[in-house]
Amino acid sequence: MKRAWNFSAGPAMLPEAVLQRIASELLDTNGSGMSAMEMSHRGKEFLAIAEQAEADLRELMAIPDDYRVLFLQGGATALFATLPMNLANGSGRADYVRSGHWSDKAIREASRFCKVNVAADCEGNGFSRVPAADEYRFDPEADYVHITPNETIHGLRFPELPSVEAPLLADYSSSILSEPVNVRDYGLIYAGAQKNIGPAGLCIVIVREDQLQGAREGTPSLMDLQAQAKAGSMLNTPPTFAWYVAGLVFQWLKAEGGLTVMAERNGEKAALLYGAIDASDFYSNPVAAECRSRMNVPFFLADPALEDTFKAEAKQAGLLTLGGHRALGGLRASIYNAMPKEGVQALVDFMSDFERRYG
Ligand code: PMP
């Protein structure tokens, strides 16, 4: 058996130690005589797993006591609709920052349920930098401001947060747990699991209690955040196995030293890869240096006709899933927490060799 370096944007690599632990306890988890995927979600064995996962996440992210943690389904995309249904019930208006593909999706979905004001739009700069402080045009009546701190496709990261009056809501799908964040800066944080948390099927929501004012009439009960908070995220059967694996990832993160250590490692990995891209005219990345994602690195070949050859030869070398998203083209390497520096080094070595042969 040989594990490949998998640069998929999501579902993505999981830490090998976590996969091994799953394998070792698959038939008998915590002395229960069952796998976690066979446990009743209301039984004491699973409730212990669920509570431990929440406690570990709270510790890792230093989540204050007046924030609730929810383990929901439907991915981040379900939250695109859930947010306006629950939180745009004052003026019915919300500010969104359009910084790339995923914030655009969030805007389109939210527009079905509230009046969206695009407070800043990065399309004018080709999604190559986040808005400058004086470029925001916030609606003073907005119920909230929504941002996407890391754009998975465009590879754009907010180096700092906009200064806002309304509660800040953030789609952290592709950068949660990659570095410390100050949860207090947000009214709500959400993230699909399949990048830095665990398997697909789970979406984590961290929400300040004062934001749980009740959903609007007609909201499906599964999308009612207040009802889910009251029910401990168990209005129906939750994705138990994904929740269990997320818990193992949280334990792994704690054992590795937590989010400060992750931030250091991720900074080093990103510097290695961007350094290789910038050192050559053969490769390029258009994002302003201070706004470059440390998780998702899109890059382009000077001669796009070589892309298929690049991907095929990379695959031969054990470097998988380097194609760019169909919305943007080019190539992309996603280097989440579970990607070791060794994997990024293998990619950089391959890139240099490829350039030598085709440049
Ligand atoms: N937001 C961001 C930033 C993403 O990267 C993704 C998935 N790539 C989504 C939302 C959509 O997530 P899901 O497929 O879990 O709905």
Residues 112, 85: Cα–Cα separation, whole Å: 10
Confidence of residue 197 (pLDDT cuts 50, 70, 90): very high
* Ligand 1 proximity of 155 Cβ (cutoff 6 Å): no
Confidence of residue 2 (pLDDT cuts 50, 70, 90): confident
Residues 310, 329: Cα–Cα separation, whole Å: 13
Query: Ligand 1: distance of its center to the CA of 338 in Å?
Result: 18
| E runs forming strands in the chain | 5-6, 67-72, 93-98, 115-121, 145-147, 150-151, 156-157, 168-171, 188-192, 203-208, 283-284, 296-301, 319-320, 331-334
| E runs forming strands in 155-256 | 156-157, 168-171, 188-192, 203-208
Whole-number Cα distances in Å, 96 to 4, 47, 123, 141, 303: 38, 37, 14, 13, 36
| 296-301 vs 319-320, strand pairing mode | unpaired
Query: Is residue 334 helix, strand or coil?
Result: strand
* Ligand 1 proximity of 76 Cβ (cutoff 6 Å): yes
Residues 232, 349: Cα–Cα separation, whole Å: 47
Tens of pLDDT, residues 107-134: 999 999 999 999 999 999 999 999 999 9
243 part of the active site: no
State mean pLDDT over 30-39: 97
Query: Ligand 1: distance of its center to the CA of 75 in Å?
Result: 7
* pLDDT reported for residue 327: 84
| Mutation test residue for ligand 1: of 77, 175, 202, the one with most atoms within 8 Å of CB | 77
* Ligand 1 proximity of 10 Cβ (cutoff 6 Å): yes
102 part of the active site: yes
Tens of pLDDT, residues 87-109: 999 999 999 999 999 999 999 99
* Ligand 1 proximity of 149 Cβ (cutoff 6 Å): no
* pLDDT reported for residue 274: 98
| CATH of 257-358 given 3.90.1150.10, 3.40.50.720, 3.40.190.10, 3.90.950.10 | 3.90.1150.10
The secondary structure of 192-212 as a DSSP string is ESTTTTSSSS-EEEEEEGGG-
* Ligand 1 proximity of 334 Cβ (cutoff 6 Å): no
Residues 8, 19: Cα–Cα separation, whole Å: 17
Fold of 17-256: Aspartate Aminotransferase; domain 2 (3.40.640)
For Cα atoms 78, 79, 84, give the angle at the middle one, nearest 5 degrees. 115
State mean pLDDT over 26-47: 98
Tens of pLDDT, residues 278-287: 999 999 999 9
State mean pLDDT over 264-270: 98
Query: Which residues, including other chains, have CB under 8 Å from residue 260's CB and lie 6 or more apart?
Result: 179, 180
| Mutation test residue for ligand 1: of 102, 171, 178, 296, the one with most atoms within 8 Å of CB | 102
CATH code 3.40.640.10 region(s) in the chain:
17-256
pLDDT over 90 (residue 264): yes
Is the peptide bond prior to 131 cis by the omega test (within 30 degrees of 0)? no
* pLDDT reported for residue 222: 97
CATH code 3.90.1150.10 region(s) in the chain:
257-358
pLDDT over 80 (residue 161): yes
| Mutation test residue for ligand 1: of 174, 197, 321, 328, the one with most atoms within 8 Å of CB | 174
Name residue, tokens 């949860």. Answer: 183
- From 177, 176, 113, 122, select the one nearest 154 (Cα to Cα): 122
State mean pLDDT over 192-207: 97
Tens of pLDDT, residues 148-160: 999 999 999 999 9
* pLDDT reported for residue 125: 96
Catalytic residue among 5, 171, 243, 252: 171
**At residue 70, what are phi and psi to the nearest 5 degrees?**
-115, 145
Q: Atom of ligand 1 at shortest distance to CA of 152?
A: 5
* pLDDT reported for residue 201: 93
Query: Which residues, including other chains, have CB under 8 Å from residue 61's CB and lie 6 or more apart?
Result: 177, 180, 181, 183, 206, 259
Query: Ligand 1: distance of its center to the CA of 107 in Å?
Result: 13
Query: Is residue 313 helix, strand or coil?
Result: helix
Query: Which amino acid appears at position 182 of this protein?
Result: N
Mean of the per-residue pLDDT values for the chain?
97
Residues annotated within the binding site for pyridoxal 5'-phosphate are 76-77, 102, 152, 171, 194, 236-237
Question: Which neighbouring-strand residues pair with 97?
Answer: 120
* pLDDT reported for residue 156: 98
* pLDDT reported for residue 1: 73
* Ligand 1 proximity of 104 Cβ (cutoff 6 Å): no
- From 262, 337, 353, 259, select the one nearest 296 (Cα to Cα): 337
